[in-house]
């Protein structure tokens, strides 16, 4: 009892200037530590973002250039059409021995003994095998070229291209190297005369799949992606908007609509690969649609994008103030007229923003497309969405599995193209939101 009183007294009788020890120093140190963790976390995130982008760009920027060898090709009639039967049989021009033209031109340009077969082989290996189709196309398009000599710019083979870009480690023993010393020697000669030079790689944007990196491009895949994006846009936007209008404006509030709400939120978080299984089972096996078709890919991506669009559209509809609805209804507009004349136009910027973001996701999506057979080796442009086609991210996936250095470069290049598309779409969404979003 006495102790207590005295201790209480002592607490209160403490001199005013003496501060209590509340551990200020320790607590501020803890405060600083805590803050530092936060800064560190953000820096870690940004660091990885930087490393990721840097990896892609540093590996990929060279893909936009391609080494080409310009040779004077003699379109010798003796080789192309020795029996002069092209007038009767135009198919002859399709099957002529065009690589021989390249060989002859190389032998001449590099002054090789034509009898030295291994040496000639090494020389012809420097030119892409796609030279055959390139020369064939020239001749078929203009048979008059036969008998003349024309300078033709041929693609260099992938490893030569890599070597020309300085990407091949020359300290490795020659036997373990894809590019031989003799070839390096010739490269110097050709570069010296200006016959070999790097040029902008238009092929990357126009070619289709190829097992030879120098003749592989994303053009065909990009067209497949374009088809799918158009299908997604044409289906997901109207269906998503219609569904949102029903759910937001008409549906009675009850257990069923609650269930639909939960269902849509869940669909937005279902793993994308599950949509691929759905597409395979329903569209391909049950409905009998063709495998590898952009149509099926578009449908699958539509189902995947719908929840995103519905969620965004409902939020945008909800943000339109009730006073606008009351004003229109008060004038005698029907509910449908109120929504389509006033509410929906006001919600449109939000709807479009959500749609663009959904489309961007769909554009980068790979997994479901693998399951519906879009991992296909597609060389020709698909004429319709029913034709076999592939998609940009799937092309990236297929190239990522190739070992050659030139494919790594192209993979990164394709990723850069994909990321540029995504950045443009997202910027568009941001600008749209800034420009048109109305604050009530």
Partner 1 sequence: MNTSLILLIVLIVGLAAYFAGRARAMASSKGKLSALHSLPGYHGVYVAIWAVLPAAVVLAVWLIASPFFVESAVRSSLPEAVRSQGGATTELMLGQVMQVANGLKLLNADELAAVTSGSSNLRDALAAKGVPMANAGEAYMVESAQEYNSLKDGSRWAMSAVVLIIAIAGAFFSIRGISAPFRARNRVERVMLGALLLASSIAILTTVGIVGSMLSEAIRFFQSVSPSTFFFGTVWDPRFSAAGSGGTEGQFGLLPLLAGTLYIAFVAMLFAVPVGLFAAIYMAEYAKPAVRGIAKPLLEILAGIPTIVYGFFALVTVGPFLRDMSAQLNGLVTGNYVNFIQAQSVLTAGLVMGIMLIPFVSSLSDDIITQVPGSLRDGSLGLGATRSETIKRVILPAALPGIVGALLLTASRAVGETMIVVLAAGVAARMQLNPFEAMTTVTVKIVNQLTGDLEFNSPQTLVAFALGITLFAITLCLNIYALYIVRKYREQYE
Partner 2 sequence: MNMMSEAAVEKALDQKMNTVPFKMIGKDVSVYYGEKRALFDVNLNVRENTVTALIGPSGCGKSTFLRTLNRMNDTIDSCRVTGKITLDDGDIYDPSIDVVELRARVGMVFQKPNPFPKSIYENVTYGPKIHGLARTKAELDQIVESSLQKAGLWNEVKDRLHESGTGLSGGQQQRLCIARAVAVSPEVILMDEPCSALDPIATAKVEELIHELRTNFTIVIVTHSMQQAARVSQRTAMFHLGNLVEENDTDKMFTNPDDQRTQDYIMGRFG
Site for partner 2 in 303-322 (CB under 8 A): 321
For residue 415, the minimal CB distance to partner 1 (Å) is 5
Is residue 232 a contact partner of residue 297, using CB atoms and an 8 Å limit?
no
For partner 2, give the closer residue by CB, 112 or 329.
329
Q: Does 211 bind partner 2 (CB under 8 A)?
A: no
Closest CA to 196 of 187, 206, 204: 187
Q: Does 432 bind partner 2 (CB under 8 A)?
A: no
For partner 1, give the closer residue by CB, 191 or 426.
426
Residue 253 contact among partner 2, partner 1, none, beta carbon within 5 to 8 Å by kind:
partner 2
The Cα 164–Cα 315 span in angstroms is 55
Bridge partners (DSSP) of residue 46 are: none
For the chain, count helices (H), then strands (E): 20, 3
Per-residue binding string, partner 2, 343-382, x by CB under 8 A, is ---x------------------------------------
Residue 112 contact among partner 2, partner 1, none, beta carbon within 5 to 8 Å by kind:
none
Closest CA to 438 of 345, 355, 357: 345
Q: Does 328 bind partner 2 (CB under 8 A)?
A: yes
Q: What is the DSSP string of 124-149?
A: HTTB-TTHHHHHHHHHHH-GGGTTSE
For residue 212, the minimal CB distance to partner 1 (Å) is 20
Closest CA to 417 of 213, 208, 222, 226: 222
Q: What is the DSSP string of 81-113?
A: -TT--TTT-THHHHHS-HHHHHHHHHHHHHT--
For residue 328, the minimal CB distance to partner 2 (Å) is 7
For partner 1, give the closer residue by CB, 179 or 363.
363
Bridge partners (DSSP) of residue 151 are: 72
For partner 2, give the closer residue by CB, 72 or 321.
321
Is residue 303 a contact partner of residue 278, using CB atoms and an 8 Å limit?
yes
Residue 393 contact among partner 2, partner 1, none, beta carbon within 5 to 8 Å by kind:
partner 1
For residue 319, the minimal CB distance to partner 1 (Å) is 16
Only one residue has tokens 């491009």, namely 217
Residue 346 contact among partner 2, partner 1, none, beta carbon within 5 to 8 Å by kind:
partner 2
CB neighbourhood size of 74 (10 A): 16
For partner 1, give the closer residue by CB, 54 or 200.
54
Q: For the segment 226-255, give every residue that binds partner 2 (CB under 8 A).
A: 252-253
For partner 1, give the closer residue by CB, 82 or 238.
238
For residue 355, the minimal CB distance to partner 2 (Å) is 22
Closest CA to 216 of 77, 400, 360, 89: 400
- Interface residue list for partner 2 (CB under 8 A): 252-253, 321, 323-335, 337, 341-342, 346, 438
């Amino acid at each position: 009892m006495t102790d207590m009183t005295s201790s209480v007294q002592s607490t209160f009788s403490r001199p005013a200037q003496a501060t209590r020890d509340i551990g200020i120093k320790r607590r501020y140190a803890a405060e600083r530590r805590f803050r530092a963790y936060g800064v560190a976390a953000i820096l870690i995130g940004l660091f990885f973002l930087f490393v990721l982008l840097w990896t892609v760009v540093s590996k990929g920027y060279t893909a936009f250039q391609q080494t080409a060898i310009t040779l004077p090709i003699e379109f010798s009639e003796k080789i192309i059409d020795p029996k002069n039967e092209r007038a009767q049989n135009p198919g002859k021009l399709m099957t002529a021995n065009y690589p021989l033209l390249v060989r002859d031109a190389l032998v001449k340009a590099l002054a090789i003994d034509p009898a030295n077969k291994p040496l000639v082989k090494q020389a012809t290996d420097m030119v892409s095998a796609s030279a055959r189709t390139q020369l064939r196309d020239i001749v078929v398009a203009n048979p008059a070229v036969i008998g003349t000599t024309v300078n033709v710019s041929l693609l260099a083979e992938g490893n030569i291209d890599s070597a020309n870009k300085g990407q091949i480690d020359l300290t490795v023993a020659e036997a373990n190297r894809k590019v031989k010393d003799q070839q390096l020697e010739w490269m110097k000669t050709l570069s010296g005369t200006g016959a070999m030079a790097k040029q902008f790689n238009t092929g990357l944007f126009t070619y289709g799949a190829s097992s030879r990196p120098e003749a592989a491009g994303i053009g065909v895949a990009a067209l497949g992606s374009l088809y799918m994006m158009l299908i997604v846009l044409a289906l997901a936007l109207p269906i998503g908007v219609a569904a949102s209008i029903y759910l937001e404006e008409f549906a009675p509030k009850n257990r069923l609509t609650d269930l639909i709400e939960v269902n849509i939120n869940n669909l937005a978080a279902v793993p994308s690969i599950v949509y691929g299984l759905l597409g395979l089972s329903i569209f391909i096996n049950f409905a009998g649609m063709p495998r590898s078709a952009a149509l099926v890919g578009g449908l699958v991506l539509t189902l995947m994008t719908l929840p995103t669009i519905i969620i965004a559209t409902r939020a945008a509809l909800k943000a339109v103030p009730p006073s606008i609805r009351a004003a229109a209804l008060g004038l005698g507009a029907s509910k449908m007229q109120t929504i389509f004349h006033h509410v929906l136009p006001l919600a449109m910027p939000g709807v479009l923003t959500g749609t663009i973001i959904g489309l961007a996701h769909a554009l980068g999506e790979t997994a479901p497309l693998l399951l519906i057979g879009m991992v296909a080796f597609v060389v020709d442009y698909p004429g319709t969405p029913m034709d076999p086609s592939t998609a940009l991210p799937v092309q990236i996936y297929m190239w990522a599995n190739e070992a050659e250095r030139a494919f790594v470069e192209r993979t990164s290049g394709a990723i850069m193209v994909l990321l540029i598309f995504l950045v443009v779409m997202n910027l568009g969404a941001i600008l749209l939101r800034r420009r048109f979003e109305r604050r009530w």
